[in-house]
Structure 1
Amino acid sequence: MEDNMEQYIIAIILGIVEGLTEFLPVSSTGHMILTAELLGATEEKWKTFEIVIQLGSVCAGLFLFWRRILRLLGIGREKTGRPQLNLLHIFIGILPAGVAGVVLHDFIKDKLFSSMTVLLSLIAGGILIIVAEKMRPRTIAETVDDISYKQALGIGLFQCLALWPGFSRSGATIAGGLLLGTSRKAAAEFTFIMAIPIMMGASGLDLLKNWNHLSANDFGFFAAGFITAFVVAAIAIVSFLKLIERISLTPFAIYRFALALVFYFFILG
């Protein structure tokens, strides 16, 4: 009974960490590696659990952006007389990382999934965020509907940096958006919407590959982690979109440097 309760506590803690960090520019990978190590959740089933709770975060994005997603599919499209975000923007944004991911898959798995490379990517991502805040040009895309195809492609190219584990997809793309003339909120919304099909596909595929690590006894704490990640991610997305209208991303970069220090002492020290 105690072991079972401990599993639920670990599941909820990991669900909170996943929900808080998946869409923020702070690296969910770094946080999950560190938290799992500290909690002793390093068995194979916990790796499968991390895939399940990532799906919980994805579903939070679907829940919050369902109207926008329906409009992307041509359902209930607003007639504003001005350009709107469409599926081509999303496809263009996804394409570079999709191609790079296929081409570099073996290299990434063999060379970049180590504690040291994750630590370095935390620092590199923080530097990119600071550079983007310092060097950002005049904003020409205030809302997500103002994003051009050229900007979508540029943001997609920045997303390739997220293939480096620990760099953070949202950190790379939001920083890229700033350098390409989008507002923080526009870049963030485009990032979150673009991440839904990517994460849904990647997590779904990983889950199918790791299905053999699941058993009926795991359902309860897997469900607890999924629900926790869903709720926390929804709160995190809404809060972040409000917050970045008022502050820069620099505090998130500083946080990444602090996390890298903690990561070093607890994982590599």
Structure 2
Amino acid sequence: METWQVVLLGLIEGLTEYLPVSSTAHLLLTEELMGVTSAGRTFEVLIQLGAILALLTVYAGKLWHIALDFPTSATTRRFVFAVLVAFLPAVFIGVLAHRIIKEVLFESPLIMCTALVIGGIILLAVDRIKYKPRFTNVMDIPWTTALIIGFAQCLAMIPGVSRSGSTIVSAVLLGADKRTAAEFSFFLAMPTMTGAFAYDLYKNWSILTPDDVSHIVLGFIAAFVTGVIVVRHMLDFISRRGLSFFGWWRLLVGGIGLGVIAVLH
């Protein structure tokens, strides 16, 4: 890949990772358009480190307070337990399905575009639901609800579904307001994305070349910069505007993609 292509992909990763639009689909479809790819599809996973660090940077204060309160606050301990419980399904399913995800699902633009369209319709429908939320504070989400959100997150192993989209939608349907749902998605992203990064690095480090490493570092930096911007503003945006914007965006990108596929094939 050329330097500009690496930077572009890193910017896309940071911009889309925490939005309910599927960063993986955006990355893979952009690569398809540019005619580039990475060894073992590792670049696309490892540049997530930039987005992870962006989230940790913005949430450093909250994480510090959680760490301080953990020994003395039952509410804090329940919340940490809930996040870990929600993370567990991704551990087992991700390890078992890793090969299928990378070798089959990552190679199908049709699956990605179809998932984008279906997810867009779901976001538009969920955004129109009128309900009285049961959870307006992320610390109040019980572990049973968190576990269901964790299973919903696993749907995002299909590129185009969106990790943040599946967790936000499931949390809203289970009674969280949109801001709380998005914030729980942030906290769940921390172990999930870190685990995906570590496992993919473990599986593929032997095939990485010096050029691959330099590309990953550059993509990581670009993803970090745009990731910080998104994390700082996403909760307020969703609180004010809801999910419809992302639903329409998914329909646009997925619809264009399906049209191109139909013409070319």
TM-score normalised over the length of structure 2:
0.87
**Correspondent of 2:185 among 186, 191, 200:** 191
Supply the distance in 1 between the matched residues of 2:80 and 2:192 (Cα, whole angstroms). 14
| Contact preservation (8 Å) 2:55, 2:186 | yes
Query: What amino acid sits opposite 1:31 in the alignment?
Result: H
Structure-2 residue corresponding to 1:205: 199
| Contact preservation (8 Å) 1:92, 1:152 | yes
Q: Report matched runs for 1:153-168 at 5 Å.
A: 153-168=147-162
1:12-47 alpha-carbon deviations (Å, 9 max, x no partner): 1011101011111001111011111222222427x3
Query: What amino acid sits opposite 1:255 in the alignment?
Result: W
1:45-82 alpha-carbon deviations (Å, 9 max, x no partner): 7x33223311111111121222333444xx32189978
Pair 1:33-2:28 in alignment: yes
**Correspondent of 2:2 among 7, 30, 37:** 7
Query: What amino acid sits opposite 1:175 in the alignment?
Result: V
| Contact preservation (8 Å) 1:161, 1:169 | yes
* Structure 1 residues 111 and 82: CA distance shift in structure 2, 3 A: same
Pair 1:178-2:172 in alignment: yes
SS in 2 for 1:83: helix
- 1:7: Cα distance to partner? 1.9
- 1:227: Cα distance to partner? 0.7
* Structure 1 residues 224 and 97: CA distance shift in structure 2, 3 A: closer
Q: Report matched runs for 1:98-247 at 5 Å.
A: 98-105=91-98, 108=101, 112-113=105-106, 114-135=108-129, 137-247=131-241
- 1:242: Cα distance to partner? 1.6
1:128-156 alpha-carbon deviations (Å, 9 max, x no partner): 22232233531121121122223212322
| Contact preservation (8 Å) 2:18, 2:231 | yes
* Structure 1 residues 111 and 240: CA distance shift in structure 2, 3 A: same
* Structure 1 residues 204 and 100: CA distance shift in structure 2, 3 A: closer
**Correspondent of 2:55 among 42, 47, 61:** 61
Q: How many residues align?
A: 261
Structure-1 residue corresponding to 2:90: 97
* Structure 1 residues 44 and 219: CA distance shift in structure 2, 3 A: closer
- 1:260: Cα distance to partner? 0.5
Supply the distance in 2 between the matched residues of 1:143 and 1:94 (Cα, whole angstroms). 19
Supply the distance in 1 between the matched residues of 2:208 and 2:26 (Cα, whole angstroms). 23
SS in 1 for 2:152: helix
Query: What amino acid sits opposite 1:15 in the alignment?
Result: G
**Unaligned segments of structure 2, at least 5 residues:** none
| Contact preservation (8 Å) 2:114, 2:258 | no
Supply the distance in 1 between the matched residues of 2:215 and 2:100 (Cα, whole angstroms). 34
**Unaligned segments of structure 1, at least 5 residues:** 1-5
Supply the distance in 2 between the matched residues of 1:219 and 1:101 (Cα, whole angstroms). 24
* Structure 1 residues 48 and 99: CA distance shift in structure 2, 3 A: closer
| Contact preservation (8 Å) 2:90, 2:192 | no
Query: What amino acid sits opposite 2:151 in the alignment?
Result: L
